[in-house]
Chain A
Amino acid sequence: MLEQYRICQTTGLRVFQSTENLIKANAVVAVIFLAIGGLFGLSIALTRWKAVHLLPADWFYLALTAHGLDVLVVWIVFFEIAVLYFASSVILGCRIATPRWAWAAFALMLIGALVTNVAVLMGNSSVMFTSYVPLKADPSFYVGIILFAVGTLIACFVFFGTLVIAKQEKTYEGSVPLVTFGATVAAIIAVFTLASGAIILIPTLLWSMGYISHIDTLMYRTVWWGFGHSSQQINVAAHISIWYLISAVVLGAKPLSEKVSRFAFLLYVLFLQLASAHHLLVDPGISSTWKVFNTSYAIYLAVLGSMIHGLTVPGQIEAAQRKKGYNNGMFEWLRKAPWGNPAFSGMFISLILFGFLGGISGVVMGVEQINLIIHNTIYVPGHFHATVVAGTTLAFMAVTYLLVPLIFRRALILPGWAKAQPYLFGLGVAGISVFMMGAGTLGVPRRHWDISQADAILPYDFPGAANLMMGLNGMSAILAALGGFMFIVVVVGSILFGKKIDASTEVPIAPPEDARVVGEYGNEDHPAIPGTIALVGVFFVSFILYYFVNWKYLAEVWPLR
């Protein structure tokens, strides 16, 4: 049984018809949910901006639940499935395993997402993304999430099956490419994630239907975060793979060392998921031994992995650029990078914001004791908007600018918009993150409709700076929403109305500039990367300073033991 495929004119990759359709379907649904979830997000930020205070309380909590589910889960996971299919079938040039199961997975995920959304919009399931018991949602809320999770699990196994087929049919030689390896790591983390979700959400469903009388809150939180936090670790593995992918396709970059990059991914497989403990650092009854071991990913070994990628990704870009002759001084390679190509600029902004804002804040707030001054303040969403929006979402947007010409075979419309979009979105999200983190250090709580508490019996006045921060957060959200809107217009517009690309058409905006140019440099004879080392040095110094500043803040609060 031979399946139809075409040879991509720009990359020389083999693209099978069924893979192409699956990638298209998953990516399109992802983008639709990004638009919906993004709008909810904007309405939330505008509500928390005191001068606007857009939504009434019940709508606010409804919108917050929908925002979390639609962007943190539906958008990201659908897109990740598209990435998994791309990284297996397209990159390895092999047919996809059991396309029928892949379509079944797609259908389950879509139905699940719709069912949960309807449950939330009906107004009786405003239990937040975390749905902590004993807050009770409509049973259909949990049914939707479970269906979605089952679909995702099937899709992960389609991915693993595709790896097996590629190996059997020898469509590649030696080890899988680094991007495929990174995607494998994402799929592995996904399996643990979904298993944890099933363990806790199935009993919760039965409880909401009245078949089980009680669910222990501490047990729920522990197992649920094995799902909730690990799902964000899937993103980390996926978007780092995309960083490697984009630097390869756009610049012809090649890993400085396969060994080091893959070893860093191995550390993710082994230790990244332990960080689910970040959410339980101030919970009763779990010992400090458990907390310290798990919150530090077993002595910070997964942080080591991230710090390695933080060197190797810009390092390989620098190496590729120097190979092309951008050799003057420390930073010519960076200045002359293709900043006008949204795939590249989006990827690089994602890298910087993820590392400086998301990475550092994540490690600091994950220190067992420092978490006391951060837990459940709005600092937490500040942190994860830097990782999941500036890091993951922006990386996914960047790679979409490559997928439109490569998979949808359409030229981008509005190239000017596409060019500006990553900058606008990056700026907006950076603002969102920084201002929420700032407000969080002033004690502003997360998931809170009105910090002015006008009707409370015992009101508490937050410092004026807190309201200022929340206002600036609202303004940043408008910028980010504008960036998101431009992305959706460009992508949807290009898919519908973009010029069809056939063999003879030039791809106007995402040219894999002569990927061969990098040729033979490899692990042994590898070029010096002084610019990257300088960047990494700046990062490291910021990390150390911020880390100790927070110990200082902690030392100032009331003694506690």
Chain B
Amino acid sequence: MSEENHQEAADSNESERIPFMQQLLDNPFLLLFLGVTIPTIFYIIWGVMEIVTIPIAK
């Protein structure tokens, strides 16, 4: 019976109880931000830094 109560409680304020990961996955713009930032940092910016630091031949 405690389970039932628990279930009802969950139904009534479910908007607050949506787990963080589900909120993330339901937010296309947050995902867009991550999907653009991560490759920009790790692939492009890091890569460009490697290229500009190549030394000049002796």
Binding site for B on A (CB under 8 A): 160, 163, 175-176, 181, 184-185, 188-189, 191-192, 195-196, 216, 218-219, 222-223, 226, 230, 262-263, 266, 269-271, 273-274, 276-277, 280, 284-287, 290, 293-294, 298
A335 to B24, CA, bound (A): 39
CB distance from B42 to the nearest CB of A (A): 6
Identify which of B22, B25, B34, B48 gathers the most chain A CB atoms within 10 Å of its CB. Answer: B25
Q: Are A188 and B31 in contact (CB under 8 A)?
A: yes
Q: Are A226 and B32 in contact (CB under 8 A)?
A: no
CB distance from A368 to the nearest CB of B (A): 14
Q: Would you mind naming 21 contact pairs between A and B with Cβ atoms under 8 Å apart? A: A160-B32, A175-B22, A191-B32, A192-B35, A195-B36, A219-B48, A222-B48, A223-B48, A266-B25, A266-B31, A269-B34, A273-B35, A273-B43, A286-B47, A286-B50, A286-B51, A287-B50, A290-B46, A290-B50, A294-B42, A298-B42
A342 to B5, CA, bound (A): 50
CB distance from A272 to the nearest CB of B (A): 9
A280 to B44, CA, bound (A): 12
B38, CB-defined interface residue at 8 Å? yes
Which residue from chain B places its CB closest to the CB of A216 in the assembled complex? B51
Q: A residues within 8 A CB of B22?
A: 175
> Which residues of B (21-58) have their CB < 8 Å from a CB of A?
21-22, 24-26, 28-29, 31-32, 34-36, 38-40, 42-44, 46-48, 50-51, 54
Given A160-B28, A222-B44, A188 and B39 contact (CB-CB distance below 8 Å): no
CB distance from A546 to the nearest CB of B (A): 26
Interface residues of chain B: helix, strand, loop or mixed (majority)? helix
Q: B residues within 8 A CB of A266?
A: 24-25, 31
Interface band, chain B: 20 to 34
Q: Are B47 and A290 in contact (CB under 8 A)?
A: yes
CB distance from B32 to the nearest CB of A (A): 5
Q: A residues within 8 A CB of B42?
A: 274, 293-294, 298
Q: Are B39 and A230 in contact (CB under 8 A)?
A: yes
A280 to B48, CA, bound (A): 12
Q: Are A285 and B54 in contact (CB under 8 A)?
A: yes
Q: Which single member of B28, B35, B46, B51 contacts A218 (CB below 8 Å)?
A: B51
A285 to B43, CA, bound (A): 15
CB distance from A208 to the nearest CB of B (A): 22
Which residue from chain A places its CB closest to the CB of B29 in the assembled complex? A160
Q: A residues within 8 A CB of B43?
A: 226, 273-274, 276-277, 294
14 additional A-B pairs beyond A263-B21, A269-B34, beta carbons within 8 Å, are A175-B25, A181-B25, A184-B31, A189-B35, A196-B44, A219-B51, A223-B48, A263-B25, A269-B35, A270-B34, A273-B39, A276-B39, A294-B42, A298-B42
Q: A residues within 8 A CB of B39?
A: 192, 226, 230, 273-274, 276
Which residue from chain B places its CB closest to the CB of A184 in the assembled complex? B28
Identify which of B21, B24, B34, B44 gathers the most chain A CB atoms within 10 Å of its CB. Answer: B44
Which residue from chain A places its CB closest to the CB of B51 in the assembled complex? A218
Given A223-B44, A226-B44, A276-B43, A270 and B35 contact (CB-CB distance below 8 Å): yes
Q: Which single member of B25, B32, B46, B51 contacts A188 (CB below 8 Å)?
A: B32
Which residue from chain A places its CB closest to the CB of B19 in the assembled complex? A259
Q: Are A176 and B29 in contact (CB under 8 A)?
A: no
Q: Are A192 and B34 in contact (CB under 8 A)?
A: no
Which residue from chain A places its CB closest to the CB of B31 in the assembled complex? A269
Which residue from chain A places its CB closest to the CB of B47 in the assembled complex? A222
Which residue from chain B places its CB closest to the CB of A199 in the assembled complex? B44
Q: Are A188 and B50 in contact (CB under 8 A)?
A: no
A269 to B39, CA, bound (A): 9
A266 to B47, CA, bound (A): 24
Q: B residues within 8 A CB of A277?
A: 43, 47
A176 to B51, CA, bound (A): 42
Q: Are A191 and B36 in contact (CB under 8 A)?
A: yes
A158 to B54, CA, bound (A): 42
Q: A residues within 8 A CB of B28?
A: 160, 163, 184, 188
